[in-house]
Amino acid sequence: TVVAQPTPIRTTCPYCGVGCGVLAMPRPDGTVAIAGDPGHPANLGRLCSKGSALGETLSLDGRLLYPEIHGNRTSWDEALDLVATTFKKTIAEHGPDSVAIYGSGQLLTEDYYVANKLMKGFIGSANIDTNSRLCMASSVAGHKRAFGSDTVPGNYADLELADLVVLVGSNLAWCHPVIYQRLAAAKAERPQMRVVLVDPRRTMTADIADLHLPVRADGDAALFVGLLNALSRRGVIDRDYVGEHTIGFEAAELLAEDWNIARVAEATGVPAADLEAFYELFATTQKVVTVYSQGVNQSASGTDKVNAIINCHLATGRIGRPGMGPFSVTGQPNAMGGREVGGLANMLAAHMDFDEASIERVSRFWGSSTVAARPGLKAVDLFRAIADGRIKAVWIMATNPVDSLPEADAARAALRACPFVVVSDMSARTDTVAEAHVRLPAAGWGEKDGTVTNSERRISRQRPFLALPGEARPDWWIVSQVARRMGFAHAFSYFTPAQIFAEHVALSAFENEGQRDFDLSGLTGTDYEAMAPVQWPVRKPRKGAERMFGDARYFTPDGKARFVPIQPPPPISPAPGQFVLNTGRVRDHWHTMTRTGKAARLSAHIAEPFVEIHPADAEALSIRRTSLVRLENRHGCAVLRALVSERAQRGHVFAPMHWTDQFASSARIDTLVTAKTDPVSGQPALKMARVTLTPF
């Protein structure tokens, strides 16, 4: 007997920014088989533990299935009417800046587009920010300072083509596992390839590294300013490239002059011999890719770190060519898509800023005379404005700021003081949903239909293969319904995500004669259902760009890249008895575990929250292996299991960010993080809190 095989649905993993293609095969018994899509260029059939367990996270347990007002089930009409009338009334009484939207890199591009259009285009305020502010805002700011645009130059294949891969502040093995698998396979094939890891912790990623540089927290800028100096002294600056295609090298070089090996060693804590080895390797290897992630971005000097890295690539002309370039890897599945639609408070739309010409252009495109005229509040400031009453109504979509924002208890208090809090989410049980006056049930992965963009600018389809449960609805539908009820029906008459995507494509191409990097004109009229993964820009005739800046033409007014002179910050020096707290991910969980917490095998890897501490520090504090430890500072406290490990650096501890009040009491690690932000990007320094430790 031949048993009919289910037809696989081609979709994309909803977790990290690698953006792996997934084949989902619903079975007659209601379960779903999951496999990597061999045809997807990001993963070529690979999946990590989280991606391969997606089928085990699809139960309706804990789902928000019906609209609720004050915890009571209601109809969509009542809930939507209440949101629309309260937003309208608040705006009428207090102005457009008295309301806000806080979105997420989990939203699909179509959801993001509609939310951004409502807030900036029709409400007339730019108070829409996103949890992507916590993830890659410093990379965006660094790109714009250097390139004049938020453009990631390279792609994943460049890591495989490089002879030297420098991983900075990135535990690639756990946080972007499929890129790590690709890198490991390439290194196994070409053992002469070198990998350098720059990270205070000796993470699992160090297992592949030829050299590990255990910089102190925030030592990265000094390391790369020292590298620029070393490149200059070794005479390996590409003077032709610098002269023809860049501006500002002399100032950057001058500021770097003082950063000799001894000074860098003192600032970073890295032995001078290891610094010499790294600088020599970088200077003598042409094909270099520098991959950086949250260790760089989540810092009060994150933007400067990004530019310190980019400076070294510009100075050597190692950018825009196979196997070369700086490469920011994003944390979330659609952090990049959010940037594309303008879903950050300091961006307008389609990679346009708040300059007069862009505001006028977007106003004409959207047919609105009320487009926001200036940037809005970035995440941390936005929650401060909620706390002090400037913002009186907020709508939070697909994210859990009560656990993920720095000074998380203050974020919770802000929502408790806010007169009107709306949360749309697929989960009924997050710590943020608990604070909502109105809860709107959103569609989840497998039910949603739209697009996402991964770290290498590749737009892929997320396709549905499950029916919408209960009364859950797609985010784009929910936002459009509220917009219609606010009186903007003419601009939000969407019936399908394909319509929204077509509008997004048209806006990217609107009066864009090559001045802006983000251009999807080649996707005009594309078959949305069948659309294959493609890297932007996709200019007419349809052609995606694997790599940017191969022609050394940048998106600045004169087409030249900019060096940014960097003065590294003084080293972090905790007071006696204090430790630097680094926060981050574990291999098998995602964000606040609303989905990965459902798959038993994912919790088998690391079953409970922990604090990783060096054996000598543990001994000095009489902390025994597996005993409980209390972490404390003026913002909050957490009680965690001690993981005594030489992977930690002395004076530094690490704790994961995933556990919330839903899964473990007293483990909300972001309660301890100070809400200090990078002055350029507004990204909070989530990896540099100071805490004291005591045995519990």
What is the binding site for ligand SF4 (CB under 6 A)?
A: 13, 15-16, 18-20, 43, 47-48, 50-51, 176-178
Residue (16 or 491) nearer to ligand SF4, CB: 16
Q: Which CB contacts under 8 angstroms, 24+ apart, belong to 478-481?
A: 478/80, 478/424, 478/440, 478/442, 479/111, 479/114, 479/115, 479/118, 480/114, 481/76, 481/80
**Residues in the chain, overall count:** 696
Residue (297 or 301) nearer to ligand SF4, CB: 297
Residue (105 or 148) nearer to ligand SF4, CB: 105
Taking alpha carbons only, the member of 57, 36, 58 closest to residue 602 is: 57
Helices and strands, number each (H, E), in the chain: 23, 28
Residue (34 or 548) nearer to ligand SF4, CB: 34
Q: How far is Cα 430 from Cα 435, in angstroms, rounded to an integer?
A: 9
Smallest separation (angstroms) from ligand SF4 to the CB of 467:
23
Residue (17 or 474) nearer to ligand SF4, CB: 17
Position of minimal CB gap to ligand SF4: 51
SS (H, E, C) 441-510: EECCCCCCCEEEECCCCEEEEECCCCCCCCCCECHHHHHHHHHHHHHHHHHCCCCCHHHHHHHHHHHHHC
Residue (165 or 178) nearer to ligand SF4, CB: 178
Smallest separation (angstroms) from ligand SF4 to the CB of 50:
4
Residue (174 or 659) nearer to ligand SF4, CB: 174
Smallest separation (angstroms) from ligand SF4 to the CB of 587:
10
Contacts of 690 (CB under 8 A, 6+ apart): 574, 575, 578, 579, 580, 581, 633, 674
Smallest separation (angstroms) from ligand SF4 to the CB of 248:
36
Residue (177 or 568) nearer to ligand SF4, CB: 177
Taking alpha carbons only, the member of 555, 554, 605, 546 closest to residue 177 is: 605
Smallest separation (angstroms) from ligand SF4 to the CB of 455:
10
Smallest separation (angstroms) from ligand SF4 to the CB of 392:
37
Contacts of 384 (CB under 8 A, 6+ apart): 377, 414, 675
Smallest separation (angstroms) from ligand SF4 to the CB of 461:
14
**What distances in angstroms separate CA 121 from CA 87, 115, 451, 572, one per listed residue?**
15, 10, 22, 42
Taking alpha carbons only, the member of 160, 196, 381, 367 closest to residue 274 is: 196
Smallest separation (angstroms) from ligand SF4 to the CB of 181:
8
Q: How far is Cα 112 from Cα 426, in angstroms, rounded to an integer?
A: 16
Helix, strand or coil for residue 563? coil
Residue (17 or 96) nearer to ligand SF4, CB: 17
Smallest separation (angstroms) from ligand SF4 to the CB of 267:
33
Residue (15 or 477) nearer to ligand SF4, CB: 15
Beta carbons within 10 angstroms of residue 104's beta carbon: 29
Smallest separation (angstroms) from ligand SF4 to the CB of 15:
3
Taking alpha carbons only, the member of 274, 169, 278, 259 closest to residue 217 is: 169
Q: Which residues of 274-308 are buried (b: 16+ CB within 10 A; e: fewer)?
A: bbeebbebbbebebbbbbbbbbbbbbbbbbbbbbb
Sign, CA dihedral 353-357-359-363, equals: negative
Smallest separation (angstroms) from ligand SF4 to the CB of 46:
7
Residue (396 or 599) nearer to ligand SF4, CB: 599
Taking alpha carbons only, the member of 336, 335, 328 closest to residue 295 is: 328
Residue (107 or 673) nearer to ligand SF4, CB: 107
Smallest separation (angstroms) from ligand SF4 to the CB of 333:
7
Single-letter amino acid, residue 128: I
Helix, strand or coil for residue 242? helix
Sign, CA dihedral 319-323-327-330, equals: positive
